[in-house]
Structure 1
Amino acid sequence: MKKKMLLLFLTTLILCTLPPANTSARTKEVSFTIIHTNDTHSHLEQMPRLITVINSIRAEHKNTLLLNAGDVFIGTLYFSQFKGLASIPFMNKLKYDAMTFGNHEFDLKSVTLADFIKRADFPFVSSNIDFSADQLLEPLFVRKITANPQPGKIYPAIIKKVDDELVGIFGLTTEETPLISQPNQDLIFEDALIMAKKTAAQLEHLGVNKIIALSHLGFEEDQKLAPIVKGIDIIVGGHSHTKLEEPTVIYNGKDPVLIVQTGENAAYVGELSVSFDENGMIKKWNGSLLDVQAKDSKGNYKYEEDAWAKKQLSEADQELVELLQETVGYSLIPLNGAREDVRREETNLGNLIADSILKKANEVVPTQIAFQNSGGIRASIPEGKVVMRDVMAALPFSNTLSIVDITGLQLKEILEHSVSQLNGNTGQFLQVSGIRFTFNPQLPTGKRVQSVRVNDGGHYELLNPSKIYTAAVNSYLAGGGEGYDIFKRKKVNENIIETPFLDYEMLADYLKEHSPVAPRTEGRIQEVFTNEEL
């Protein structure tokens, strides 16, 4: 019923200020340029030159739209300290036309996202999230497709007038957000394909025949969407961090659909120039990525730093200086947090983090095991003096410690999920403390874990499926993040102990107490190619 009511609102409550569609045949092409960013992940250090890049594109083209496909949140110390609000002045200065939500916009619940939205001087588009039961976000959601969007509000779609023509823009967010982020439970992430079809049809019904999907679904899903959703002309994508040097073209019947995406971390700005015929079909296009840090043959930066942005960044940096420069320890060796390693194998930094979690948990209650999802480890730590900047770069999400009782059988289930996808693209692979286990990657998913041994007073004992073990996890995993639904099951969830201890503070405290450190990989997680009995 809730979905039907939402669709009814989207279909019927259209602003009376919507301009009439221009249905007369045109004698000239309709052309404009889309400037796009995605998955910038709070990399504000790029902003001084990124602003120059965007301003240079605008100077070259008369008609432009500036769009963001989500995941402004999470990824650097700027987010850890300012919770997204440090990005707002830069985005407001750039005058974005619209942004959709990435999964990471929900990492710190609705309270942080609502504050971000209220401070924005631009609108947001979201067609497949039902905000109606969320007390903080529902007041910001306007159940209307409008040609007069207001800043700091969320719409299912908006209509922009470009070169005297109507251009529709609607937003899509991955349905996996409840699995990989921590949205409020009152939010409903609806089927993206169904809502894309319905929203595009509503825009066409309003006389709009140039439609942009602002998508945080990932490149693979965008490619599935393009040939089956009637009306979409362009997909400005995000989520998969795919660097598309030029548009990917997929045909929906005879109509080309262009898919663009810029990669990650504000390293590139996308530029897509398109020309439509009078029927709203794309006839010409030219798309590319502009390297924000590009240099000429002499090694000079191609784009100067914007003076205002440089000053703004300096002010943000000053607030971080004292915190970031605090020495927390010393490492005798490099600590490996490289994405391609932590997401598929044991690393020394993974071990150190898991050990710090286990130590802090034992100060609360006796605890045998600790897990750290590899997706939460975002940087390596160099050999030598370790400062808070290094720690917070490695653990930028500010997750808190949770403690839970699980059975041996549930522990094996958790480990099976950990090794179910070993392509390096997912963050569910666990770094561990207090256990040693082996797995055979050649076996079917769900049957890969071969042996599990749990530390019992210094001796590793074979897993007892019926025994109760106490495990320490971060709040992200405790909420079911990375697909660990087991922690959301009633019998598990009802006994979770939540604490205020932050992950980066636990690691910093551990380094202060144990430095100098020189953690090694020690066979906590081993690949085997023979079957063993549990």
Structure 2
Amino acid sequence: MESIHIYHTNDIHSHLERWPRIHDFLLERKKMHQKKGEDVFLFDIGDFIDRWHPFSEGTKGLGNIDLLNECGFSAVTIGNNEGINLSFEDLNQLYDNAQFDVLVANLYQKGKIHPLWLKPFEIYRTGSGTRMAVIGLTAPFSHLYELLGWQLTDPFLELKEWINLLKENTDIIILLSHLGIKEDERIAEEFPEIDVILGGHTHHVLQEGKLVNNTILCAAGNYGNYVGHVTLQVDQHKKLESKKAILYDVNKLPVTKDEQERTEAFILNGKKRLTQKVISLREPLVSDPLKETKLAVLLCKALREWCKADCALINAGLLLGPLTGDVTAYDLLSICPHPINPCKIKLTGQELKDILLISKNVEWPNRQIKGLGFRGTVMGIMIYDQIIFKDDLILVNGSELDLERNYTLALPDMFTFGFFFPDLLQSQHKEYFLPEFLRDILKWKLQKQF
């Protein structure tokens, strides 16, 4: 029997506080398997980069690629944090120095041409000659990719296009899937040829994998809390006889040498790259998620002006701290780390009224939020620009809201995904502004006003 060992990570999201431990663990395991003459592969399933961390922001993700190189990763696929939270130019050169393969079958440049830095799949040969096909797929946020200049195709159609070729020319098929657990289950049902799906995106934890038909689904949660390990046993006829999955709890691994110093070095490295001064403030701008502050009002106004909308709303919880004195790029990242983009949506007066009434939900200010790009803790109160609630009336731009006319509302894109305002999910009148984040809009406004 031939033993093939696969280690996988997913959705690290630049939580580099655990990376020294992961790094040392992976190098130690590689050394152990190679000493036994066993093949070992390392794969990352996307969202390794998240620009909330100063190291990732300061290096535009290039520092993260160095970390993967240092571990000797075999291949990665990209997640939405790499794909739509970097500009076209930054993503297009992100992997210039990568010493591993980037596998994404459903990402193209305009004209349906794969960029030079990626392949739809790669075939790896083990020391015993076993052929292992690895194909990658990323979550189909097609519209957002198109706004940045990319073209994204349906992942299931891509699989249909490639699966027969892979089946005819290889012994094992592995999918790197940044699609989420539900999509992975569907793929296992529709494509029984796939032996292993290494998943991510929905941050699910599969302690010993999950068998769907004859396909084993594997996933290692998020933030570097786990490292996955899949062991494949192949007989002398190149037939896959067994597959087993396990997760290692990174928090229970031995503390590595100089662990704290290494994680602090990531922060210091990024901070040093973000020291450029944005503005000097004569008076501090305080923040409070439960109060209407000058800083929150300023961001809301900046959002409306940037989007050229009639009115705007934000949640005060987007601002995580004050600004004072000489404000640097690092300061803006610290108080507004979210990879959240501006959005403008066209609404009728009645639709706008419904949205505004929902936004007054008294339970929202203290509600804790995870996901949707939000990197804070609580929602905070709603802040409005060019919107006034006066007794039973709603005023927009100083005039009573007209239920029959159309308005444009600027808001953070996290409110358009259906979790807070369900009706906005299906709206066909949304305009997203990429690649700017809210902190970029705040920087623009600060420099303009002060």
For 2:102 and 2:414, how far apart are their aligned partners in 1? 28
Choose which of 218, 224, 248 in structure 1 pairs with 2:180.
218
Match of 2:59, as an amino acid?
Answer: F
What is the root-mean-square deviation of aligned Cα atoms in Å? 4.8
Which residue in 2 is equivalent to 1:154? Answer: 118
For 1:226 and 1:187, how far apart are their aligned partners in 2? 28
Task: Give the alignment of 1:40-51 within 5 angstroms.
Answer: 40-51=12-23
Native 8 Å contact 1:44 1:87 kept in 2 = no
Which residue in 2 is equivalent to 1:427? Answer: 372
Which residue in 1 is equivalent to 2:132? Answer: 167
Q: CA deviation at 1:202?
A: 1.0
Native 8 Å contact 2:58 2:270 kept in 1 = no
Could you tell me the percent identity over the aligned residues?
A: 23
Match of 1:427, as an amino acid?
Answer: L
Match of 2:184, as an amino acid?
Answer: D
Which residue in 2 is equivalent to 1:344? Answer: none
Choose which of 285, 288, 298 in structure 2 pairs with 1:356.
298
Native 8 Å contact 2:348 2:406 kept in 1 = yes
Native 8 Å contact 2:146 2:152 kept in 1 = no
1:259 aligned onto 2:217: yes
How has the CA–CA distance of structure 1 residues 303 and 100 changed in structure 2, closer, same or farther, with 3 Å as cutoff? same
For 1:70 and 1:350, how far apart are their aligned partners in 2? 37
For 2:238 and 2:368, how far apart are their aligned partners in 1? 43
Task: Give the alignment of 1:342-421 within 5 angstroms.
Answer: 348=290, 355-361=297-303, 369-372=311-314, 381=320, 392-393=333-334, 395-397=336-338, 406-409=347-350, 411=352
Structure 1 stretch displaced more, 124-133 or 231-240? 124-133
Normalising by structure 1, report the TM-score: 0.64
Instruction: Find the residue that maps to 1:358 and give its secondary structure.
Output: helix
For 2:303 and 2:203, how far apart are their aligned partners in 1? 34
Choose which of 457, 467, 474 in structure 1 pairs with 2:405.
467
1:241 aligned onto 2:203: yes
How has the CA–CA distance of structure 1 residues 68 and 414 changed in structure 2, closer, same or farther, with 3 Å as cutoff? farther
Which residue in 1 is equivalent to 2:67? Answer: 90
Match of 2:136, as an amino acid?
Answer: G
1:126 aligned onto 2:110: no
Native 8 Å contact 1:170 1:212 kept in 2 = yes
For 1:402 and 1:91, how far apart are their aligned partners in 2? 33
Which residue in 1 is equivalent to 2:93? Answer: 115
**Which string of whole-angstrom CA distances, capped at 9 and with x for unpartnered residues, describes residues 427-454 of structure 1?**
39996524589xxxxxxxxxxxxxx964
Instruction: Find the residue that maps to 2:62 and give its secondary structure.
Output: coil
How has the CA–CA distance of structure 1 residues 220 and 287 changed in structure 2, closer, same or farther, with 3 Å as cutoff? same
Q: CA deviation at 1:319?
A: 1.3
For 1:117 and 1:364, how far apart are their aligned partners in 2? 31
Aligned length: 419
1:304 aligned onto 2:245: no
Normalising by structure 2, report the TM-score: 0.74
Structure 1 stretch displaced more, 107-116 or 401-410? 401-410
Match of 1:360, as an amino acid?
Answer: A
Which residue in 1 is equivalent to 2:161? Answer: 198
Q: Provide structure 2 residue ranges, at least 5 long, that are not aligned to the other structure.
A: 362-366
Q: CA deviation at 1:98?
A: 0.8
1:287 aligned onto 2:246: yes
Which residue in 2 is equivalent to 1:444? Answer: none
Which residue in 2 is equivalent to 1:231? Answer: 193
Native 8 Å contact 1:39 1:265 kept in 2 = yes
Which residue in 2 is equivalent to 1:37? Answer: 9
Instruction: Find the residue that maps to 2:229 and give its secondary structure.
Output: strand
Instruction: Find the residue that maps to 1:359 and give its secondary structure.
Output: helix
How has the CA–CA distance of structure 1 residues 453 and 320 changed in structure 2, closer, same or farther, with 3 Å as cutoff? farther
